[in-house]
Amino acid sequence: MGNPEQSPLTEVPQTEFAPFRIEPRFAERVWGFADLHPWYDRVAGSAPLGEVWLTGDECLVATGPHAGRTLGSMFAEASQALLGAHAPKGVADMGNPLLVKVLFAKEKLSVQVHPDDKLAQKYGQPRGKTECWYALAAEPGAKVACGLKPGVTIDQVRNEIRTETLEESLNVLDVQPEEMIFVDAGTVHAIWPGAILLETQQNCDITYRLYDYGRGRELHVEKGLEATRLVTNAGKVAPVEQADGRTTLLSADYFVIERVKVDGSRSGESLRGDVSPARELQYLFAAAGAARISGEGFEPVELPRGCIAAVPAASPAFLVEDLGGLDLIRVVPHWPEIKP
């Protein structure tokens, strides 16, 4: 493994920013599973596992010359090489903009809400949390709660928290495999058992719990009600087929998520590195099958199922090869308009 104390990354050859795989981190959650097989070769210790963090700041670089570094340290030293020159300075200075996870819910998560950027900054945090869920798998009857029913008031939400009847006011959605659900900041929501979800979110871990099914964890009712918006843009998003073989699963402030077809002799053509200065960070996730990322001047990067690779904006040209059964998800930052 590389030495995390090696020299800074600011002035290095382009191949130093070739694509690299990221080591997942496994997070214990009271609502998770004891065993993540067959998705991951991981069995829980003393507490269940509920989240697999794929792009967290503490995740380690797994391949290439910077193996052993944390992702957060790389963004701290070389954000422009990773994000691209077009990233707004104020945003780039905050480091990695996106946190991608896989969620495994055996029990109901808390009913919760996340603040938007403005409210998060009011309480001393750099950014809020808009997120989305892509269903990697779903059992019959799988559901999530996403938003409040029409006509529900803040006073009603407050009262139903007290009487433990808040579920009655939640908008409940059935979940099918390969569906995308958008959850913008301010949306009251909950994840229930039955689906394995790829979550993409702003890189922020602020959660205001409104109701937690008596599990004894801290609630954040007043801040949660302050964050709550009665009407949001949350809900299912229909995929949009593109002419280049990609499918746009979601295009919103903060992130764009695509499903990319990697096909025979054209393997990776739509993902070939661009020499223009407007290149962007890409995260490539193998939802199924396996891939190999290759290019001139760097060692090929193997991408097994359930793993993610980062392709920096400064990466040399690269190709993605389907090693069998590949279902490739591409996640890129999308900078919202900065309002005065």
Please tell me whether the overall predicted TM-score, pTM, comes out greater than 0.95 for this model.
Answer: no
pLDDT at res. 264: 52
Given the candidates 3.90.70.10, 2.60.120.10, 3.40.190.10, 3.30.360.10, the CATH classification of the domain at 14-237 is 2.60.120.10
The alpha carbon of residue 241 and the mean position of all alpha carbons in its chain are separated, in whole angstroms, by: 22
For the stretch 273-299, pLDDT in tens is: 544 444 899 999 999 999 999 999 999
**Predicted confidence (pLDDT) per residue in 142-177, tens digit:** 999 999 999 999 999 999 999 999 999 999 999 999
Query: Could you tell me the pLDDT band of residue 67, with boundaries at 50, 70 and 90?
Result: very high
Task: Evaluate the omega torsion of the peptide bond into residue 38 and state whether it is cis, within 30 degrees of 0.
Answer: yes
Burial zone of 290 (CB within 10 Å; 0-12 exposed, 13-18 middle, 19+ buried): middle
CATH class, domain 240-334, is: mainly beta
Domain boundaries, the chain: 14-237, 240-334
Euclidean distance between CA atoms 148 and 199, whole angstroms = 21
pLDDT at position 61: 98
Let me know: does 332 contact 281? Beta carbons within 8 Å. yes
